Amino acid sequence: MKGLKLLTIFLLIISTSVVYAQKKKVAVVAFYADKVIDLSAVDASADFIAKNTELSDDPNFNLSEPLKKFHEAFFNNYVEEFDFELIPEEKVLELPEYKDYEAEYGDHKNIGGQDAYETIDGYKVIQNYGERLEVKNLKPIAEALGADAILFVRLSYRFNKTGIGKLGYFSVQAVVNLSLYSKDNKSIFQFNELAGSKKKAAMVGGIPVMTPKKIQPMCESATDELIKDMNKKIERLAKKANKKLK
């Protein structure tokens, strides 16, 4: 009996070691917010489109704080739910090959010459269109990091209108996109979640007042609500993702 117990303990140790040995390593390679608010959910007039462009060009329209909040929530609360080993940020951001990487579809300036994106310091802007090409190009970086997969985290915003005609009001929805690919360009999961701001904007001439003072608090409110929603849903998301990671 004693020998059987020892054998059982030995097998448990071996099986546990195998599980840990098989744990996938993931590198986050993009973490940013798009300053151009999506108008696809509303009936955007030419004036609305122009004012939206002016807003994204305005240096006072700064999304760095909500982005930092989401970044902190992601690394402090969400990552631990996934069954993978996250390669430390500093290792990714300090890798010379990553520093030198130029995305095929990367950062760009708006008409006014302002940055179209807010980024967490050190991260590259790698947009979701042309993503497969980017994953292919990022393979040497993944291999240099010892990563089995790479993760893109993108935050964006869009207007949402309620009410009829000019009697309605606008709110802002925050949207997060998580895209995880193997280093060999296999899609592991794509996830999108959105949440609406508690703050609203009255309309003037059929569009909201498009100033940083009016719109930025709505973006911040929407991000806070998104974080709350993600806190509730991350366990379910992680379970689905973990199955695909094996």
- Taking all residues of the chain, what is their mean pLDDT, rounded to a whole number? 85
CA angle 51, 48, 52 (to 5 degrees): 40
pLDDT at 28 over 50: yes
pLDDT at 3 over 80: no
Most confident listed range (9-23, 196-210, 212-226): 212-226
pLDDT confidence tier of residue 45, bands split at 50, 70 and 90: confident
Distance CA 206, CA 165 (A): 7
Distance CA 86, CA 27 (A): 6
pLDDT of residue 242: 78
Q: Please report, as a single letter, which amino acid is at residue 120.
A: I
Q: Could you tell me which of 101, 87, 163, 167 has the C-alpha nearest to residue 137?
A: 101
232-242 pLDDT per residue, tens: 988 888 887 77
Per the model's pLDDT, the better-predicted residue between 23 and 190 turns out to be: 190
pLDDT at 151 over 90: yes
pLDDT of residue 177: 95
Residues 158, 172: contact at Cβ < 8 Å? yes
Distance CA 241, CA 223 (A): 23
Residues 160, 42: contact at Cβ < 8 Å? yes
Which tokens in the block code for residue 105?
């579809």
3-state secondary structure the chain: CHHHHHHHHHHHHHHHHHHHHCCEEEEEEEEEEECCCECCCCCCCHHHHHHHHHHHHCCCCCCHHHHHHHHHHHHHHHHHHCCEEECCHHHHHCCHHHHCCCCCCCCCECCCCCECEEECCCCECCCCCCHHHHHHHHHHHHHHHCCCEEEEEEEEEEEEEECCHHHCEEEEEEEEEEEEEECCCCEEEEEEEEEECCCCEEEECCEECCCHHHHHHHHHHHHHHHHHHHHHHHHHHHHHHHHHHC
pLDDT mean over 174-190: 93
Per the model's pLDDT, the better-predicted residue between 235 and 30 turns out to be: 30
51-108 pLDDT per residue, tens: 888 888 888 999 999 999 999 999 999 988 888 899 999 999 999 999 999 998 766 6
pLDDT of residue 130: 83
154-179 pLDDT per residue, tens: 999 999 887 666 667 889 999 999 99
Residues 149, 143: contact at Cβ < 8 Å? no
